[in-house]
Structure 1
Amino acid sequence: METNSNAIQSSEWGLRNGSVSAYLNQEKRHSLPSPPALHSNDLVISDVITVRTKPKSGDASGSYASGTGGQRLPDAGEGCYVPLRLVLLVLAFLGCAVAYLLRFSISVAIIAMVNTATAANNTSISNGACPAAINASRNTQQSKGGGEYNWTLQEQGIILGTFFWGYVITKCVGGRIAEVVGGRLTVGVTLGLCGVMSLLCPLAAEWHPLALAAARLVMGLLQGPVLPAVYGIIARWARPQERATMVLISFAGCGVGSMMGLGLSGLVVENLGWRWVFYGGGIISLFWTPFWFLLVRNSPAQHPFISTKERQLLSVVHVQPKRRVPWSRLLRCRTIYILILAEFAGTWVQTFTSNQAPTFLTEQVGMDPGTSETLMTVTPGLAAFAFIVSGWLSDFLYRREILSKLGIRRLMYGSGVMMVLGSSVGIIFAGCNQTWVFALFVTLAVGFIGQPSSYQMTPMDIAPNYSATIMGISGLGQLGAFVAPIVNARLIPQHHGWDIVIMVTCVLFVVVGGLYIFGVTAEEQEWNLYEEVEDCCEEDVTQGQDPFKPDN
């Protein structure tokens, strides 16, 4: 009885005095299986290549993976080896690219699908438009579209918008779904089914415009969990000093997919017809899916092909999604609401730079449509490059201990705020100077990309075990994609309406940036260990064992 009493008192003292992390670290050292050590006859060529020489007598070299019936698997260290982290990165990058290709390619295809007549008028030319824009509007001749369908503008708007209605709904819960059923299954199934739906889109379009809208709604519902699920997988595969790099390389695929959807889709329409925009996206998605299921696992411990060397490298990662969420503590965390606001502000800026920018550039500045299309195609590629650079720089500063983790997040968000502020003010003062507007617009579009290397890394900072859930919750900020067009539509007809739109966008981003910089934290929250502490303490106390006493 004295032992049990001491165990209970020790457990209660540890939880009261904030020693949870120390306790769990001690438990992990004694309860988790240690990664196999390299033998003296293992010649390590580099961090990623290991050559196994003649094994010792009686040495059962090789790996044994769960689910293999105890059969020996060939050790990935025997000969040349590609690290599985790299394989995961490539497939995650391609998966994000496929997702955004399926998302945005319809924006180009629908132009060729619809048979419309457009007359030149000045209804979309705002007060204060540049002379080049006014002249271009006056000289525009009536044109007749060659599409097959006589859809109204309202029907086209519904078709284009339903995807995002579904996306917002499932992104909020997608992170939790991925943590419960597994990110690998979530990403593979959703993108695979998205490919099937893309193949069905031409058939739906022939039936009725609302049928196509319904197909796009289903695709949005399917894609919502993709990014949180990818995020959760990387949290279990990335060492602390390489998290930002791995996350942002994966998410850079979004920019490449956008560039393909907006740029290459036009070439597909010209050479093969609009149906092949949907067929091509669906085929690419279905081609990618089996490679994802074959080569990706939720964690290193589950992968049958992992090498001894890589297993040792990843032994420092102790991220394990939990089935129970401490909702009351999570929802009292101030940082969660700052992340939602950051997502809202970023989405608002992206709505302007992606959806409304072509109208601004042609109808306000008077830029040639070809130049505008080139800018809109190149910008996502530059954004993808900025993703990768910002992730690498974040990890570099962390590895070299130049800045604290919180300092890095503040620096990245702050640099993005300064670029957005400077370029927004510059665009207003540039007026009708198309060269300056072009350069400043690129700066604006790339500037807010500094945001992901800050706020999108915060869930891994504060609660890596619930990182996918938190990222999904931050998806509430995607409502900015619905609010921004409504607000901007009311502002544009005003005198110098586009200037007001740009300033509202800039002020919102700067204000939210201040809230993030001064209000966020990068410290791991105590509720990150909620389930693990409760399970360990309850089991040990019930069995009459001291939970702080290591196993022999």
Structure 2
Amino acid sequence: MTSHIEESPIINSDIEHDVTSSRRNLVEDEFVEETTGWIKCRTVLGIMGFLGFAVVYAMRVNLSVAIVAMVNSTTPQTNSSLDVCPAPIPTNTSTPTRPGDFNWSVQQQGIVLGSFFYGYVLTQVPGGRIAELCGGKLVYGLGIFFTAVFTILSPIAAYTDFSFFIAVRALAGLSEGVTYPAMHAMLAKWIPPLERSKFAAYVYAGSNIGTVITLPISGWLCTLEFAGGWPLCFYIFGGLGIVWFIGWLFFVYDSPQKHPRICPKEIEYITRSIGPAQEDKPAMSIPWCKFLTCVPLWAILIAQCGQAWVFYTQFTELPSYMNNILHFDIVSNARLSALPYLTAWIGGILLCIFADWLLAKGWISRLNSMKLWNTVSAFVPAFGLLGIAWAGCDRVSVMLLLSLTSAFGGAAYAGNQMNHIDLSPQFAGTMYGITNAASNICGFLAPYVVGHIINADQQTLGQWREVFYLAAAIDLGTNLFYLFFASTEEQDWSRPDNDDMTASAPVESILFPES
């Protein structure tokens, strides 16, 4: 799709002057803003959003560890001569293993691990649209609040009935499904274009930190005798979600224009960078047919599906792999499972800072930047999985590969994750809801497929290699589609007045037109 801006002879003739003056104005505006006030209001949004994702992922990931303690017999080892890793010789100092409370098969465990996503995918699009129309504050906040309530109810449901437990986990997913699209809608209103990759890395990295903290704590809680051990994973993190919700109500607002304590310099800077407030623009109905025929949107959706398959294969199945194949005890299992998320957090922030720096220097166009970092976030983890498939029983190599490759997975924040806002700031939340719903189908599809690849009676290295090969192939293939069809041009149907494109174009579209 060719940009109207690029076709303008006025802009083409004066592009060097526009780039220089625009950059100078942005730097001057940012300098003025930095000298006013103690802390910027969008920084508060970032901190609270970060903590929100940390809490919400704590409530999501705890089951991956708790299920190891919940299930009475995960994998009976019947024949040590098969393609399996030798179990370590137990010592007198080993932590005694308490029998689990439930006799669930491997297929049932796959259903349990995927049940959260049955509801999660249903509220993505409604959550994004409601956030666009009514503001993201309550949508995001209430989503986490009700996730916390259902998390607290999870142990009670598990003891009551298997189906009831599945329903409660699905309701928790239904509540959490609004969080990502709601936050995306808020970022479209709050964050200037040249800060988006870096800011998104900070906010969404809360999911990695929540996982890093939760996995070892959950492993330790499962060893306690108090309250049965594993139910504490749900009670404690659910309680933290309710506490966070109270703080969110007091400190965050839907848009800069609605914030009662925002510095005038900050609101002026945001308005000049983004454009008029969304409330000041004409209301537009959702162009569903345009969404269906928008190839760049399909490129984002397919890329996210590939990365989600890799993520959820690791997210839901890694603790089971480390328990049944590498034979880590539950405490070591939980601690080591957290390492890839720690490196993903650090790597994601550093890579996105570097990506924004390259954009600010004008050394790469926004489109090429997104394609580059999306490729990094797909290729490195995919080849890392192939390495893990052949590392076999070498525990050190497996953990090093997981940790190193996960560091590059965070580059997705500078890749496709913020691409929706480029295509249509008006409908960024709705579009993110569509792509996130599609990608999170992998949240229950990946465990389901893994459950059918893995033999219930005897897990082997060969079976797990098939799991890793499949994930790598999907990730690499979907990235190729993104490379061919991605775009950063605002779509014609995004604007209420298509003839006024030059006047309303985002600053970065002028600074870095597609080549």
Give the superposition deviation at 1:213: 2.6
Residue by residue over 1:93-150, the C-alpha shift from the partner in whole angstroms, topping out at 9 and shown as x without a partner, is: 0111111111122333444455x25684247x89643xxx1455999x9x97455x44
Higher helix share: 2
Secondary structure of the structure 2 residue equivalent to 1:523: coil
Residue by residue over 1:257-289, the C-alpha shift from the partner in whole angstroms, topping out at 9 and shown as x without a partner, is: 122332212333445533432222222111111
Residue by residue over 1:137-195, the C-alpha shift from the partner in whole angstroms, topping out at 9 and shown as x without a partner, is: 999x9x97455x44544665544432110001112432122212321110111212222
Give the superposition deviation at 1:527: 1.4
Q: In 2, are the aligned partners of 1:126 and 1:492 still within 8 Å (CA)?
A: no
Give the superposition deviation at 1:254: 0.6
Q: CA RMSD in A?
A: 3.4
Q: In 1, are the aligned partners of 2:194 and 2:356 still within 8 Å (CA)?
A: yes
Cα 1:435–1:106, aligned 2, differ >3 Å: closer, same or farther?
Answer: closer
One-letter identity of the residue aligned with 1:478: N
Does 2:80 match 1:94?
no
Q: In 1, are the aligned partners of 2:73 and 2:103 still within 8 Å (CA)?
A: no
Structure 1, gaps ≥5 residues long: 1-16, 23-43, 51-79, 537-552
Residue by residue over 1:207-243, the C-alpha shift from the partner in whole angstroms, topping out at 9 and shown as x without a partner, is: 4343333222211111101011011101111111101
Structural mapping, 1:344-363, within 5 Å? 344-361=305-322, 363=324
Cα 1:290–1:370, aligned 2, differ >3 Å: closer, same or farther?
Answer: closer
Q: Could you say which residue in structure 1 is the equivalent of 2:205?
A: 252
Does 2:446 match 1:484?
yes
Q: In 1, are the aligned partners of 2:114 and 2:444 still within 8 Å (CA)?
A: no
Give the superposition deviation at 1:477: 2.0
Does 2:259 match 1:303?
yes
| Distance in 1, Cα, partners of 2:371 & 2:391 | 30
Q: Could you say which residue in structure 2 is the equivalent of 1:288?
A: 244
Q: Could you say which residue in structure 1 is the equivalent of 2:464?
A: 498
Q: In 1, are the aligned partners of 2:124 and 2:434 still within 8 Å (CA)?
A: yes
Structural mapping, 1:370-449, within 5 Å? 371-449=332-410
Secondary structure of the structure 2 residue equivalent to 1:402: coil
| Distance in 2, Cα, partners of 1:463 & 1:216 | 33
TM-score (norm 2): 0.80
| Distance in 2, Cα, partners of 1:126 & 1:349 | 30
Cα 1:262–1:150, aligned 2, differ >3 Å: closer, same or farther?
Answer: same
Q: Could you say which residue in structure 2 is the equivalent of 1:104?
A: 61
Structure 2, gaps ≥5 residues long: 9-29, 502-515
Cα 1:326–1:524, aligned 2, differ >3 Å: closer, same or farther?
Answer: same
Q: Could you say which residue in structure 2 is the equivalent of 1:320?
A: 278
Q: Could you say which residue in structure 1 is the equivalent of 2:23?
A: none
Cα 1:268–1:435, aligned 2, differ >3 Å: closer, same or farther?
Answer: closer
Cα 1:155–1:477, aligned 2, differ >3 Å: closer, same or farther?
Answer: closer
316-325 or 487-496, larger mean C-alpha shift = 487-496
Structural mapping, 1:523-534, within 5 Å? 523-529=489-495, 531=496
| Distance in 2, Cα, partners of 1:287 & 1:495 | 43
| Distance in 1, Cα, partners of 2:452 & 2:165 | 29
| Distance in 1, Cα, partners of 2:316 & 2:97 | 23
| Distance in 1, Cα, partners of 2:247 & 2:138 | 13
200-209 or 393-402, larger mean C-alpha shift = 200-209
One-letter identity of the residue aligned with 1:509: D
One-letter identity of the residue aligned with 2:441: L
Q: In 2, are the aligned partners of 1:175 and 1:229 still within 8 Å (CA)?
A: yes
Give the superposition deviation at 1:300: 0.6
Q: Which entry has the higher C-alpha Rg, 1 or 2?
A: 1
Identity across aligned pairs (percent)?
27
One-letter identity of the residue aligned with 1:479: I
Cα 1:420–1:126, aligned 2, differ >3 Å: closer, same or farther?
Answer: farther
Q: Which has the higher contact order (CA 8 A, sep 6+)?
A: 2
Selected match of 1:451 from 412, 430, 433? 412
One-letter identity of the residue aligned with 2:443: A
Structural mapping, 1:108-127, within 5 Å? 108-113=65-70, 116=72, 120-122=76-78
Cα 1:89–1:299, aligned 2, differ >3 Å: closer, same or farther?
Answer: same
Cα 1:248–1:117, aligned 2, differ >3 Å: closer, same or farther?
Answer: closer
Does 2:154 match 1:201?
yes
Q: In 2, are the aligned partners of 1:410 and 1:454 still within 8 Å (CA)?
A: yes
Q: Could you say which residue in structure 2 is the equivalent of 1:47?
A: 33
Cα 1:49–1:269, aligned 2, differ >3 Å: closer, same or farther?
Answer: farther
Give the superposition deviation at 1:495: 8.7
Q: Could you say which residue in structure 1 is the equivalent of 2:20?
A: none
Q: In 2, are the aligned partners of 1:397 and 1:403 still within 8 Å (CA)?
A: yes
Give the superposition deviation at 1:87: 0.3
Secondary structure of the structure 2 residue equivalent to 1:306: coil
Cα 1:178–1:535, aligned 2, differ >3 Å: closer, same or farther?
Answer: farther
Give the superposition deviation at 1:90: 0.3
| Distance in 1, Cα, partners of 2:87 & 2:285 | 62
TM-score (norm 1): 0.75
One-letter identity of the residue aligned with 2:61: F
Residue by residue over 1:470-501, the C-alpha shift from the partner in whole angstroms, topping out at 9 and shown as x without a partner, is: 11110212222333334444545699333333
One-letter identity of the residue aligned with 1:95: G
Give the superposition deviation at 1:425: 3.7
481-490 or 324-333, larger mean C-alpha shift = 481-490
Q: In 1, are the aligned partners of 2:61 and 2:315 still within 8 Å (CA)?
A: no
Structural mapping, 1:177-216, within 5 Å? 177-216=130-169
Secondary structure of the structure 2 residue equivalent to 1:198: helix
Give the superposition deviation at 1:431: 4.0
| Distance in 2, Cα, partners of 1:492 & 1:137 | 25
Cα 1:107–1:414, aligned 2, differ >3 Å: closer, same or farther?
Answer: closer
Cα 1:409–1:490, aligned 2, differ >3 Å: closer, same or farther?
Answer: same
Cα 1:404–1:373, aligned 2, differ >3 Å: closer, same or farther?
Answer: same
| Distance in 1, Cα, partners of 2:75 & 2:293 | 55
Secondary structure of the structure 1 residue equivalent to 2:195: helix
| Distance in 1, Cα, partners of 2:462 & 2:205 | 35
| Distance in 2, Cα, partners of 1:126 & 1:479 | 37
One-letter identity of the residue aligned with 1:508: I
Cα 1:325–1:458, aligned 2, differ >3 Å: closer, same or farther?
Answer: same
Does 2:263 match 1:339?
no
Q: In 1, are the aligned partners of 2:371 and 2:415 still within 8 Å (CA)?
A: yes
Give the superposition deviation at 1:334: 0.4
| Distance in 2, Cα, partners of 1:119 & 1:408 | 45
| Distance in 2, Cα, partners of 1:486 & 1:195 | 25
